[in-house]
C-alpha cells in the first residue's frame, strides 16, 4: 500500500489491547500517524505492522511502563519533540479491587502513579506545544465511577474522579486557545482490566463491547464534547446534572454560613 503523508499524529497510551488498540485502529483509518505506547512490545509491534499495511500511516512504537519514572520520561520527551503530537489519548490505566482498609499501600501508590500522575504529566508535556500552535486535542479515558464513587471500594473511583476534574479544569484553561479536551467515561466495558485486577468480567452485567465504546467516544470527540458518557441514553440527564452543579456553585460565594448551620 502507498504510504500516506500523515497530517497529524496521535500518541496513545495503553495501546496494546482494549480501548487503546481500538483507538489506534480508528485513528489510523482516519489517516493519523501514530505513536503507540504500552508495556507489551510484541503486541505493539504486531499492531503497528498491521496498521502500516492497512492504512499506510506512520507508526512509532514506544515500550514503556508508565509507573517507572525513567520509562515515563521517554514518553514525555516524545511528546515534547518533533513531529508534534496533535492528539494525546490518555488511556493507560488499571483497576485495584478490594477495600481501602485492606489494600496494600504499595499497590495504591502504583495505581496513583498510573491513573493520576502519568496522565497529568503526559498532558503537561504536550499541551504547551498545542497552545503555541493553536490546535490539538487531549482525550482522557475516565470512568462513570467518577460520578458514583460509592459504587466502588478502594481508590479506583477516586483516581477516575481526578481524571474527570483534570479534564474539566484543563478545558476551562485551554479551550479558548484552540485545544480540545475530552473526558470519556465508560461504564463496564469488555477489556482486560478486570482480569488484570483479579476480577471476572463474566459476572459483570450489561458490558459494552470495546469497538462500540470507542466509536461512540469518537462521535463525541467530533462533536467537541467535553464529557462523553457512551451508555447514557439521554443527554438531558447530563445537562440536568451540570445545571444542578451550577446552582450549587451559585451558593459558594456567600460570605456567611447558610442559615441551617447557625445556632
Active site residue 156: yes
Catalytic residue, from 156, 162, 194, 261: name it: 156
Start-to-end CA distance of the chain, whole Å, equals 77
Which are the contacts of 141, defined by CB distance < 8 A and separation ≥ 6?
A: 19, 89, 90, 91, 93, 163, 184, 186
Q: CA-CA distances (angstroms) from residue 228 to 65, 69, 130, 156?
A: 27, 31, 22, 19
User: Of the candidates 189, 15, 148, which has an alpha carbon nearest to the alpha carbon of residue 89?
Assistant: 15
Which are the contacts of 36, defined by CB distance < 8 A and separation ≥ 6?
A: 12, 15, 16, 20, 24, 44, 47, 48, 59, 60, 61, 62
- Catalytic residue IDs: 156
Amino acid at each position: 500500500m502507498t504510504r500516506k503523508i500523515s497530517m497529524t499524529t496521535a500518541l496513545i497510551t495503553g495501546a496494546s489491547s482494549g480501548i487503546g488498540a481500538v483507538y489506534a485502529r480508528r485513528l489510523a483509518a482516519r489517516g493519523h500517524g501514530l505513536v503507540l505506547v504500552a508495556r507489551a512490545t510484541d503486541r505493539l509491534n504486531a499492531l503497528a505492522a498491521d496498521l502500516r499495511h492497512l492504512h499506510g500511516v506512520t507508526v512509532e512504537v514506544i515500550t514503556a511502563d508508565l509507573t517507572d519514572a525513567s520509562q515515563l520520561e521517554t514518553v514525555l520527551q516524545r511528546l515534547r519533540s518533533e513531529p508534534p503530537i496533535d492528539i494525546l489519548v490518555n488511556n493507560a490505566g488499571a483497576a485495584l479491587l478490594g477495600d481501602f482498609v485492606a489494600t496494600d499501600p504499595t499497590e495504591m501508590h502504583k495505581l496513583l502513579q498510573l491513573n493520576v500522575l502519568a496522565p497529568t504529566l503526559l498532558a503537561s508535556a504536550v499541551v504547551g506545544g498545542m497552545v503555541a500552535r493553536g490546535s490539538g486535542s487531549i482525550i482522557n479515558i475516565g470512568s462513570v465511577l467518577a460520578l458514583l464513587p460509592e459504587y466502588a471500594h478502594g481508590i479506583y473511583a477516586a483516581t477516575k474522579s481526578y481524571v474527570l476534574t483534570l479534564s474539566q479544569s484543563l478545558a476551562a484553561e485551554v479551550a479558548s486557545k484552540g485545544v480540545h479536551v475530552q473526558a470519556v467515561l465508560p461504564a463496564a466495558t469488555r477489556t482486560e482490566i478486570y482480569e488484570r485486577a483479579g476480577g471476572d468480567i463474566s459476572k459483570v452485567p450489561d458490558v459494552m463491547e470495546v469497538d462500540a465504546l470507542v466509536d461512540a467516544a469518537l462521535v463525541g470527540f467530533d462533536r467537541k464534547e467535553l464529557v462523553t458518557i457512551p451508555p447514557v441514553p439521554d443527554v438531558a440527564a447530563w445537562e440536568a446534572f451540570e445545571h444542578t452543579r451550577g446552582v450549587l456553585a451559585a451558593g459558594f460565594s456567600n460570605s456567611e454560613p447558610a442559615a441551617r448551620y447557625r445556632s
